[in-house]
Structure 1
Amino acid sequence: MIDRSEPKLISGNSNGPLANAIARRMSLHRGMSVSLVDARVERFNDGEVFVEVYENVRGEDMFIIQSTSKPANDHLMELLIIADALKRSSAARITAVIPYFGYARQDRRTKARTPISAKLVANMITQAGIERILTLDLHAAQIQGFFDIPVDNLYAAPVFALDVKHNFRGRLQDVTIVSPDVGGVARARELAKRVGCALAIVDKRREKPGEVAEMTVIGDVKGKTCIIVDDICDTAGTLCKAAEVLMEAGATEVHSYITHGVLSGPAVGRITNSVMKSLVITDSIAPTEAVQAAPNIRIVPTAPMFAQGILNTWKGTSVSSLFDTETLMPIYEGLYSE
Structure 2
Amino acid sequence: MKEQQYYRKVIDRLKNCYQFSRHFIATGEALAAETCDPIFPAVAAGVEQLEEFTVTRGLEVHLPVVGERSQAVLMPLDIEIFLGADQHRLYTDKEEQKQLFQQVHPLMDFVQDIFRSRGMPYLLDYTPSGGHFLFQNVLGYRATEEVREIGFVEEDLVRACNYIDPGDIRRWHGVSIDTARVFSGLGRLAEYLALLAMKAFRENEDRGLLPVTISDSAEHCVNFDNTWSEGPPYLRAIRSPFSLHKKNREKYDNRHQPPLADVIGACFDGHQATETGDIDLILDCMWDLEKAAAHAQNFSGFVPCSNATMIDFVREYKASDLYAFHQDFDRQQDLARGRALESAKNEPHIPDWTLEILGSPNPSALQPVKL
Q: TM-score range by the shorter chain?
A: under 0.3
- TM-score, normalised to structure 2's length? 0.24
TM-score normalized by structure 1? 0.26
Greater length-normalized contact order (CA 8 Å, ≥ 6 residues apart): 2
